[in-house]
Amino acid sequence: DAKTTQPPSMDCAEGRAANLPCNHSTISGNEYVYWYRQIHSQGPQYIIHGLKNNETNEMASLIITEDRKSSTLILPHATLRDTAVYYCIVRVEGWETSGSRLTFGEGTQLTVNP
Amino acid sequence: NAGVTQTPKFRILKIGQSMTLQCAQDMNHNYMYWYRQDPGMGLKLIYYSVGAGITDKGEVPNGYNVSRSTTEDFPLRLELAAPSQTSVYFCASSYSKQAYGYTFGSGTRLTVV
């Protein structure tokens, strides 16, 4: 799976858009970009994923650059409840052989301030 | 629906003791996983299962054992607990091999003293 690089922490004002970057310069053609988040002391929660087109759902938008070497998760109107660690994960859509399944790095700690 | 249920939520063990962390899901998911998370770190995969009767090792399996006798349950066994196993343990399940749609439990915080 491709390695990802995320800033360790970010701050955002409540009501403003939070833009979380992720670099994945070694991404392969069949690898997707997934985003999960982990609110303090809880299990991770799936947010969104995409291959090359931009994606949007009720939680967030995912913008993937044309060369697919980086992406940005956008929370359009951040609230205090969005304070969490956000994980960017790059991997193939499924898996067929043994080895690492969904793996989580250290992510970005997003703090939404009132 | 309960989703993924983990018990207990907290536990303190003495070095050398054993215990079983329970995990149950009611979504009829074939795939189940155990992760551990040390303070300030990401999650590391301990064991996973692709269905009843089938389990396999993840990144950090040493010191742990699992079984999967039913689709619903995936217990994690710690034998001879060590301080290095102090961590938060998360169980997860998924319907398919897809990397989205994992459902996680609320975790078990284990301290070994």
Nearest in space to B91 (alpha carbons), one of B7, B34, B19? B34
| Cβ neighbours of A101 in B, within 8 Å | 33, 45, 48, 58
pLDDT in tens, B89-110: 999 998 877 767 789 999 999 9
**Once rounded to an integer, what is the mean pLDDT over residues B26-50?**
91
In the prediction, which pLDDT does A91 show? 81
Q: For an interface test with B, which of A39, A102, A106 has the most B Cβ atoms less than 10 Å from its Cβ?
A: A102
Neighbours of A24 (CB within 10 A): 23
CB B8 within 8 A of CB B105: no
- A36 at interface of B, judged by CB pairs closer than 8 A: yes
Neighbours of A22 (CB within 10 A): 23
CB A93 within 8 A of CB A29: no
**A93's tokens:** 């859509």
B 5-64 residues inside an 8 A Cβ radius of A: 33, 35, 40-45, 48, 56-59
Mean pLDDT of chain A: 89
CB B56 within 8 A of CB B48: yes
